[in-house]
């Protein structure tokens, strides 16, 4: 990985956000968007990927959510951060476009990414 091509993507979504279009058993047992995207990042050999769960915060001008229990509120903000070459991150975003349609915000370096 070359520092000149280094890119950081931050994908913001709710802690309880789920993956759409999964079969019954996956919906029941493995439906967390963050875990799904993290596994996809690993499969795509993204250099670094981290999920950050906010201590407190809000998305889309909503009410403030506080993470004060063992299990955060389903509305609690979460950020998936991806670090790799810009081309690999853009390919990852494009490949996972369907799953990313309902996220709150995608930042790539200092630009907001709109997925059409």
Give the pLDDT confidence score for residue 28 in this predicted structure. Answer: 58
- CA atoms of 37 and 99, how far apart (whole Å): 8
Q: Cα 32 vs. chain centroid, distance in angstroms?
A: 10
Q: Are 112 and 105 in contact (CB under 8 A)?
A: yes
CA distances from 10 to 17, 69, 78, 91, 107 (A): 16, 25, 10, 15, 5
Contact 114, 94 (CB under 8 A): no
Question: Which range among 23-27, 45-49, 62-66 shows the weakest confidence by mean pLDDT?
Answer: 23-27
CATH (residue range 3-112): 3.30.70.120
pTM, two decimal places = 0.87
Q: Is 85 helix (H, G, I), strand (E, B) or coil?
A: strand
């Amino acid at each position: 990985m070359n520092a000149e091509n280094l890119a950081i993507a931050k994908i913001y979504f709710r802690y309880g956000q789920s993956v759409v279009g999964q079969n019954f058993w996956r919906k029941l047992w493995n439906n967390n968007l963050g875990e799904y995207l993290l596994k996809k990042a690993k499969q795509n050999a993204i250099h670094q990927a981290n999920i950050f769960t906010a201590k407190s915060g809000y998305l889309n001008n909503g009410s403030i959510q506080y993470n004060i229990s063992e299990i955060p509120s389903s509305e609690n903000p979460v950020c998936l951060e991806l670090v790799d070459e810009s081309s690999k991150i853009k390919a990852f975003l494009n490949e996972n476009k369907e799953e990313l349609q309902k996220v709150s915000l995608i930042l790539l370096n200092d630009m907001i990414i709109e997925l059409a």
